[in-house]
Amino acid sequence: MIPVLDSRGMRAADAAAIRGGIASEDLMENAAAALCRELRRSLPGAQRIVAVCGPGNNGGDGLAAARMLALSGASVSVFTLRDASAYSGDAASNAARARGVGLALRSLAEPRGLAELRRELAQSDGVIDALFGTGVTRPLRGAAERAVAAMNRSGKPILAADLPSGLSADGGTVPGPAVRAWRTVALGAPKACHVFPPASGFCGELVVADIGIGRPVLARQAKRIWLSEAQDVSALLPPRPRDSHKADFGRLAVIAGSRGKGGAAILAARGALRAGAGLVTVFCGESLALRIVSALPEAMTWGLPESAGAIAEAGARELIAALSGFDAAVVGPGLGQAAGTVRFLEILLRGTRIPIVADADALNAFAGRPGLFAKRASPTVLTPHPGEAGRLLDRSSREIQADRLGAARALARTSGAVVVLKGAHSLIAQRTGEVVVNPTGTPLLATAGSGDVLAGVIGALAAGGLSAADAATAGVWLHGAAAQALEPMLGDAGLLAHEIADAIPRVRRGLVGRPVPRDA
């Protein structure tokens, strides 16, 4: 897991690394080298580069990168927010070194500075944004605002040094004008703006670069927020022995479906099977059983008493007895919200002793009552979207979205469960306050049935023996990465939910050596 830091934490980590013997100028050189590597990797044919550098250390990173690129044969145009004499410390040293290799540092404070920037941007292959880093606390104004506007209007790929200029490192809000980056190289560690929307939408593809600050030093400054990596998921999913048996990988119950919503049960079961569950049984109303087995013959079915097309309260005791032979259960997709179904779920929640993944109507049934989940003796995972989280917490979905981190932590604390707050950069929160941010995903996931598949994936991993937190972290990562794998073919729309499930084995196979996000 990569620790996610705010501006204060990053400054403290820098200071600790320097006290530990790493020279500050070496940190700047390492940062610049990371920028150059990413530029060459992502724009291999780029020869004309514009570097826009601010007055602080972020500007120093950009100046050092400009020098390195010039020495490698690129044509680099450097623009500074102020006159070069305004630099101090390591940034001043890099301004002098840049001039020493023949680079002219043109000031945007000069009368024709902005016009020259626009002209050079129009002729460039790519842009390095090194105006401002973690120190921004208020909206950009004056020459900085005009430089940001020029970069954004250029239409050229912008590589942001640490974070797009204009964003605050401390959260997901966008204080004012900000660069819309094509790639962002997070230096040392990701910051809050990289992982919380809407600011994260300005960052483009995120690359986390090691600049020489040890992971333990960074972890000590984290605010109990972490970004999951491919290697974290890979470690949870070791290769299976050749002599494996289906019973080795868990028996999962999927309690789902009602009249008109049988597809939710099918999708959850399909997600579970594709994620590696050994045996999956769908518990549903009797009238749905034939439809489900016809659509997904790999799953077994168990018909329960029903009323008006939904599982009846009378089926709860039969189900609880049957669940003693299972390792985990997914509850909720497509169950409906009839009064009898709600009573059925209340009995089930009290009576079952196996891990549960509660989704959709198993969340709506307990609107305003998340504390009922805390009474369970066995692990629970809740997978709400913002609307469902709002109903559980008696808040509007807008309030949830305005403070996703706070909402996820509040729901985890109140429910005693692991909470997956779905959305861009889904959050996995524990009642201890620890939160994992998921880096995978795409707008393709905004499609009907996507959440049903996710519930099945998490359920499969829980049935296979992972803890609730690990099953949620790995399941959300796999689900998002599966959609990403389909993006080159589909673009950003048109995905069918069952295709997410079907792509999961390919993603799982490719985990080793293919981290997302990629380290620089």
pLDDT, tens only, 344-364: 999 999 999 999 999 999 999
- pLDDT value at residue 514: 43
> Going edge to edge, which strands form the sheet with 75-80?
105-107, 75-80, 48-53, 126-130, 158-161, 183-187, 205-209
Q: What is the DSSP string of 15-80?
A: HHHHHTT--HHHHHHHHHHHHHHHHHHH-TT--EEEEEE-SSHHHHHHHHHHHHHHHTT-EEEEEE
pLDDT surpassing 80 at residue 512: no
Q: How confident is the model at residue 240 (pLDDT cuts 50, 70, 90)?
A: confident
CA pair distance 171, 402, nearest whole angstrom: 11
> How far, in Å, are 189, 240, 266, 496 from residue 275 at the CA level?
30, 13, 14, 17
Structure tokens at 498: 């069952």
pLDDT, mean over the chain: 94
Is the pLDDT confidence value at 492 over 80? yes
Confidence of residue 430 (pLDDT cuts 50, 70, 90): very high
Q: Would you say residue 118 has pLDDT above 90? A: yes
